Structure formats: structure tokens, C-alpha cells
């Protein structure tokens, strides 16, 4: 029996496990605690479970909308295939979405958390990340985080989410060769706490983000990431793709064939900070084998039109 859940635009996707029957189930949601249904679904949606289930848009079963003509409609693949296709990842311009109906996926067990080391172990952790993600099962997601907060030393972390038991996860991680971490927060956790893994802030703060798709994470790229000085960004994050992301998708998004995504985020302080941040990000990106395509769930800036999605 298929289970669905319904979301109104602007509602935070914070408790995927709370369904009418209180079943252990999940919908695909992102890392940020402030992610909302309309923002996630109109852009396609990348979640912790994307390597297993694909874009969030792939799990949409119906939408309730108001058309430009003021008509209230329920849109499904059967009722209007073209509009249904456009609304799932096309950017939300075809109609005003008032409700989204999503398919839920069974979640028997879930484990996740952050494992953190001091920056002196950067090269070892980056190499371990490459090794782990090269053959990770689709139910295991690992994100590399290089953290350079003002006034603090550099840290490097692995953010982990696994659809399975903790004992299985520990066997998959194969971290015995690494130095003892400063913190190991991987544990059994309720799905409602999944947004705590990446420790995303809930309050608005000024900052600049640049996201690129990588062709490879070979030795040269890993050395660039591990040795970048001065730090190019407050947070450098690398996410593995592949799995269901690389499969055909009956949405405007299509297949995401690049193996990795890199995101640079820097806090903005002061009126003159923006230019310096953009220059710092650009210096790092210029050294990396990026494809130039943009991921729709990380909207490009004014100088990077959406047409670049298909370049």
C-alpha cells in the first residue's frame, strides 16, 4: 500500500516521520532546517535520500494550484501531463502551488550524525571521503565539510546519513585507519532530527554561496581542497551524487550525471565583503574541474541564468 503526505507552501519540512498513521516513513527533504515544501519542490529538491530516491520532484504525486487565469486545479500526471511535468522542478512559474502531495518511503531504521577532526588531519579525511563515496551503497550519504569559522581553527568533518542499522553503518564507514575524531555524533536518531546532522542555522544571516558540479575528485582535486590557503570560504562542502540522481527523471531536471557537487559558503560582514568573498570563491573554482552546469535547487545568481542547467 502506497502512503502519501500533503504539504502547504511555506510549511517547514521538519518532521517527515509524522504521518496520519504515525508510520515509520519519510519523504525526501534537504539538509536545512528551514527548507519549505514550495521552495524544495519547485526547484526539484535534493535531499539526504536523493541517491536512493532521486529528486524530491520524482516523489510528487499531485499538486493543487492556482493558474494565471485564477483557476483552482488539482494537477496530476493523468489530468495534465505537461503542467505536471513543468511544476516538478521547473521553477514554480507555471502556477501558484497551494498544496503538494508526496509519496512516502518506508524507513525501518535511520542513523546519522557528524564526525569531526581537527584541520591537521585534513588530507587523511579528504582521502577517506573519496574512498568511502566511490563505492557507497545508495542508502548511505556522506558529505565532506571543511569548516573555517572566524576566530577558530579549521575543522574537517564527515556528515553521515544511512538508511539502516548502526552496526551496518560502522562497517561501511571503515574509519579505523583515521586518527581519533574530536567528536563522533553518529547514532540512531529519529527522522525528525535529520536536519541537525549538518547543523544548519535556523536564523537568517548574510552570506554568499557558490555551487558547482565536479567532473572528478581525483588526487589533484583532493590536494587542492586539503591545502587551500588562505581558506577560500567559511564552509566548503562536497556532496557525492550518482545513484538515483544519475538515472532518467521524468521532470525538467533530467539526469544529474556529475559525480560530485561542491558548495562554497562565506558569511558576509561589512559593505565591502561581497566582492572579496566572490573573488575568494572564484580563485578556488578556477582550479577545479567544474562542468559549468548549475543545480536548480541552488539557484544561480543574476549573472548565471537558468539556461545553464542544460549546458
- Tell me whether the omega of the peptide bond preceding residue 188 falls within 30 degrees of 0, making it cis: no
Which CATH number fits the domain that encloses residue 210?
Answer: 3.40.462.20
- Taking the C-alpha atoms of residue 143 and residue 219, their distance in angstroms, rounded to an integer, is 18
Which CATH number fits the domain that encloses residue 26?
Answer: 3.30.465.10
Average pLDDT of the segment spanning 7-33: 47
**What separation in angstroms does the CA of 16 have from each of 30, 66, 239?**
11, 26, 22
Q: Decide which of 64, 90, 106 is a domain's last residue.
A: 106
For 97, residues 6+ apart whose C-beta sits below 8 A from its C-beta are: 9, 38, 41, 42, 63, 64, 65, 87
> Tell me: the pLDDT tens digits for 99-135?
999 998 887 789 999 999 999 999 999 999 999 999 9
Which range of residues forms the domain containing residue 149?
111-310
Beta bridge partner(s), residue 267 = 207
Distance of CA 80 to the CA centre of its chain: 29
Is the separation of the CB atoms in 105 and 140 below 8 Å? no
Average pLDDT of the segment spanning 150-165: 95
- Pair 94, 233 in one domain: no
This prediction has a pTM of 0.83
Task: Read off the pLDDT band of 18 (50, 70, 90).
Answer: very low
- Pair 54, 183 in one domain: no
- Pair 102, 170 in one domain: no
- Pair 117, 96 in one domain: no
Res 200: pLDDT: 76
Task: Read off the pLDDT band of 232 (50, 70, 90).
Answer: very high
Task: Read off the pLDDT band of 309 (50, 70, 90).
Answer: very low
- Pair 259, 233 in one domain: yes
- Pair 92, 172 in one domain: no
- How many Cβ atoms are within 10 Å of 43's Cβ, its own excluded? 22
Q: Decide which of 106, 141, 170 is a domain's last residue.
A: 106
Res 212: pLDDT: 96
Count CA within 13 A, CB hemisphere, residue 108: 4
Domain total in the chain: 2
Q: Decide which of 82, 106, 130 is a domain's last residue.
A: 106
Amino acid at each position: 500500500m502506497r502512503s502519501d503526505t500533503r504539504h502547504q507552501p511555506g510549511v517547514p519540512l521538519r518532521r517527515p516521520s509524522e504521518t496520519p498513521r504515525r508510520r515509520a516513513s519519510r519523504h525526501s527533504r534537504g539538509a536545512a532546517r528551514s527548507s519549505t515544501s514550495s521552495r524544495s519542490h519547485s526547484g526539484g529538491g535534493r535531499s539526504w535520500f536523493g541517491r536512493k530516491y532521486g529528486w524530491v520532484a520524482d516523489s510528487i504525486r499531485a499538486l493543487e494550484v492556482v493558474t494565471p487565469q485564477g483557476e483552482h486545479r488539482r494537477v496530476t500526471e493523468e489530468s495534465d501531463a505537461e503542467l505536471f511535468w513543468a511544476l516538478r522542478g521547473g521553477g514554480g512559474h507555471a502556477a501558484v502551488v497551494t498544496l503538494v502531495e508526496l509519496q512516502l518511503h518506508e524507513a525501518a531504521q535511520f542513523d546519522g550524525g557528524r564526525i569531526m577532526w581537527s584541520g591537521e588531519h585534513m588530507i587523511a579525511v579528504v582521502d577517506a571521503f573519496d574512498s568511502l563515496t566511490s563505492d557507497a551503497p545508495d542508502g548511505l550519504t556522506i558529505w565532506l565539510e571543511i569548516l573555517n569559522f572566524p576566530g577558530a581553527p579549521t575543522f574537517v568533518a564527515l556528515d553521515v546519513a544511512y538508511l539502516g542499522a548502526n552496526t551496518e553503518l560502522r562497517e561501511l564507514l571503515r574509519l579505523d585507519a583515521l586518527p581519533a575524531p574530536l567528536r563522533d555524533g553518529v547514532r540512531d536518531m529519529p527522522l525528525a532530527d535529520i536536519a541537525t546532522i549538518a547543523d544548519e542555522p535556523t536564523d537568517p544571516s548574510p552570506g554568499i554561496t557558490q555551487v558547482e558540479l565536479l567532473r572528478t575528485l581525483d588526487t589533484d582535486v583532493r590536494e587542492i581542497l586539503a591545502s587551500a590557503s588562505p581558506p577560500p570560504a567559511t564552509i566548503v562542502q562536497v556532496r557525492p551524487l550518482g545513484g538515483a540522481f544519475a538515472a532518467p527523471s521524468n521532470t525538467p531536471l533530467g539526469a544529474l550525471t556529475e559525480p560530485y557537487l561542491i558548495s562554497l559558503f562565506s558569511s558576509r560582514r561589512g559593505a565591502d565583503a561581497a566582492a572579496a568573498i566572490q573573488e575568494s570563491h572564484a580563485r578556488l573554482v578556477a582550479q577545479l574541474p567544474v562542468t559549468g552546469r548549475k543545480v536548480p535547487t541552488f539557484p544561480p545568481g543574476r549573472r548565471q541564468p537558468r539556461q545553464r542547467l542544460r549546458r
